[in-house]
């Protein structure tokens, strides 16, 4: 388990936003550190590049460009966010360019006649590679990188007639899952970015074709689908055509309406009815998509969804090692089986955190608005602030004025539904002094959710769970017949100073054990977010009997 000192040292070594401290900067640092120096497995050059060759030295090298492309994209975004230069990133990109095949793709060969599962796996990885190279190009605009991305884009344009065919779409939209049609459609994100950079109409035409072939279906791979929908949002950004924004918003709403956003804000790896595990990539996509739709529409529902996922499933999904991955889902919570998905989720988790901080503030009618209680810098003409959030630890955010022109300015602080008020916030215009600080204190509400005779409870933004380690007797057989006595009470004292613990939201419940109701017991309720501190394997119940 990470202790506080180690967390502090990592924060010193890998300061997410230079000078900023806070809960989500520490989480960002943990995953960046894992990718650069952690493991096993270790991301040395040969290991990362194995799928661009391909060389069968690890699993999933048939998803050509999946690890290598994500490594490049995630580290490019991290370098941009931190302002740090990452020599290993430049080195890997240089080596990647050497591995491009004459026809423009990376990794495993492409069949020439009947489309195969292997073709789909290869296309998936190349889609991650295309957006990865372009994210690197945005950071470091070098001609040979763009030339490589164009060559890959031209390969996709040449392949389009085969993969846009109705027959291939029907066949691979069935039970194919990880090698489903989403392996083709998820190339959308990279194609839109390639068009944005080059203004070559062939890439836009193909992007439009793919957008028109995007739909959600039962037991689909949610990460592939959501990545495609994020591509549709980008298509709106570059064309300005509202139909694409509407399409993305409808697909977003459809995920919710079809029951595919679970209580904890998790989107399962496979859409309903399969729903077996979570997946860090899907959670990262859902978070990014919800934040983007919030920015484009200012629909508060989008921000509420982002917040639900961020403070619960996305935080929980991050392991003590810095990896993201999978947990088996149970009918009343989380089962002990887990996987560190170093081949995808670890990178995609970092990729999402690298942009998270951009959504904390926005400008509205000349006022600066603080929306999302995470670490960030934000400003309007004449006023610049930074926010450092220790919401997990003590429910507060420290605002510091970095620059002020001495004129009055308005700072608005959003009061989320999970807080009854935010103390320290001011609604009217005032003069800010450079260097002054304001502490915002979020007064947490508790909220009970009832479903089919069971109850779940949130404290502030956090969903609370009973776990087997801290409350073993709660699981005495037959625990599903336990009778919980509401309401929950505050926990007697802050239990833990462990990394990522959320003492601000610890509570306890009294219950009558199913097997021996004559002897009442108490169980600790902890935010699922704090299991990042370890251990990795947890049996959690949040739907309480």
From the CB of 280, what's the least distance to Zn ion, in Å?
5
Closer residue to Zn ion (CB): 148 or 186: 186
From the CB of 239, what's the least distance to Zn ion, in Å?
29
**Chain residues in the site for Zn ion (CB under 5 A):** 279, 281, 341, 344-345
From the CB of 538, what's the least distance to Zn ion, in Å?
19
Buried b (16+ CB within 10 A) or exposed e, 158-170: ebbebbeeeebee
Beta strands in 231-322 (DSSP E): none
From the CB of 381, what's the least distance to Zn ion, in Å?
41
3-class secondary structure, 46: helix
Closer residue to Zn ion (CB): 279 or 332: 279
Closer residue to Zn ion (CB): 68 or 82: 68
The candidate with the shortest Cα–Cα distance to 153, out of 87, 213, 112, 199, is 199
From the CB of 324, what's the least distance to Zn ion, in Å?
7
From the CB of 480, what's the least distance to Zn ion, in Å?
31
Positive or negative torsion for Cα 51, 56, 58, 59:
positive
Please classify residue 279 by burial: count the beta carbons closer than 10 Å to its beta carbon, then call 0-12 exposed, 13-18 middle and 19+ buried.
Answer: buried
Closer residue to Zn ion (CB): 281 or 293: 281
Distance CA 193, CA 170 (A): 27
Closer residue to Zn ion (CB): 208 or 277: 277
**Residue 81 near residue 357, CB atoms below 8 Å:** yes
**CB half-sphere exposure, 80, CA atoms < 13 A:** 22
Read off the DSSP letter of residue 311: I
Closer residue to Zn ion (CB): 67 or 413: 67
Closer residue to Zn ion (CB): 64 or 148: 64
From the CB of 269, what's the least distance to Zn ion, in Å?
8
Contacts of 145 (CB under 8 A, 6+ apart): 93, 97, 133, 136, 137
3-class secondary structure, 30: helix
Read off the DSSP letter of residue 280: H
């Amino acid at each position: 388990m990470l202790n506080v000192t180690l967390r502090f040292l990592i924060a010193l070594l890998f300061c997410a936003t230079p000078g900023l401290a806070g809960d989500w900067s520490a989480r960002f640092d943990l995953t960046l550190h894992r990718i650069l120096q952690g493991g096993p497995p270790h991301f040395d050059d040969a290991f990362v590049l194995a799928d661009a060759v391909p060389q069968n030295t690890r699993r999933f090298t048939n998803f050509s460009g999946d690890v290598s492309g994500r490594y490049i994209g995630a580290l490019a975004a991290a370098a941009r966010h931190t302002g740090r230069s990452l020599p290993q990133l430049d080195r890997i990109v240089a080596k990647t360019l050497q591995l491009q095949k004459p026809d423009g793709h990376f990794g495993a060969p492409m069949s020439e006649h009947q489309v195969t599962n292997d073709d789909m796996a290869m296309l998936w990885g190349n889609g991650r590679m295309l957006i990865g190279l372009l994210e690197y190009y945005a950071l470091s605009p070098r001609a040979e990188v763009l030339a490589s991305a164009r060559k890959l884009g031209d390969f996709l344009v040449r392949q389009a007639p085969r993969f846009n065919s109705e027959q291939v779409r029907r066949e691979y939209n069935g039970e194919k899952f990880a090698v489903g049609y989403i392996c083709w459609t998820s190339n959308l994100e990279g194609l839109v970015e390639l068009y944005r950079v080059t203004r070559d109409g062939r890439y836009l035409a193909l992007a439009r074709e793919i957008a028109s072939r995007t739909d959600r279906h039962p037991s689909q791979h949610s990460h592939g689908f959501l990545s495609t929908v994020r591509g549709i949002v980008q298509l709106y950004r570059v064309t300005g055509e509202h139909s694409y924004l509407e399409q993305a918003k409808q697909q977003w709403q459809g995920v919710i309406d079809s029951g595919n956003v679970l209580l904890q804000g998790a989107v399962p790896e496979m859409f309903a009815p399969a729903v077996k595990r979570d997946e860090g990539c899907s959670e990262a996509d859902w978070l990014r998509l919800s934040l983007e739709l919030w920015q484009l529409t200012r629909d508060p529902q989008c921000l509420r969804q982002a917040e639900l996922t961020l403070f619960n499933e996305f935080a929980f999904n991050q392991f003590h090692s810095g990896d993201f991955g999978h947990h088996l889902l149970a009918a009343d919570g989380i089962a002990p089986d887990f996987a560190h998905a170093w081949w995808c989720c670890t990178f995609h988790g970092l990729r999402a955190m690298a942009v998270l901080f951009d959504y904390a503030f926005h400008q509205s009618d000349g006022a600066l608005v603080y929306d999302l209680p995470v670490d960030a810098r934000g400003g309007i003409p004449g006023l610049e602030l930074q926010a450092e959030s220790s919401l997990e630890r003590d429910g507060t955010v420290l605002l510091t004025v970095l620059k002020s022109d001495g004129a009055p300015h308005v700072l608005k602080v959003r009061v989320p539904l999970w807080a009854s008020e935010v103390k320290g916030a001011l609604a009217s215009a005032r003069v800010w002094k450079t260097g002054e600080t304001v502490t915002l204190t979020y007064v947490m509400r508790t909220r009970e959710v009832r479903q089919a005779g069971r109850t779940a409870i949130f404290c502030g933004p956090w969903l609370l769970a009973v776990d087997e380690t801290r409350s073993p007797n709660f699981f005495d057989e037959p625990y599903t017949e336990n009778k919980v006595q509401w309401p929950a009470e505050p926990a007697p004292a802050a239990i833990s100073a462990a990394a990522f613990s959320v003492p601000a939201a610890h509570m306890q419940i009294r219950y009558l054990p199913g097997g021996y109701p004559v002897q009442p017991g108490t169980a600790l309720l902890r935010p699922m977010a704090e299991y990042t501190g370890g251990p990795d394997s947890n049996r959690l119940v949040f739907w309480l009997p």
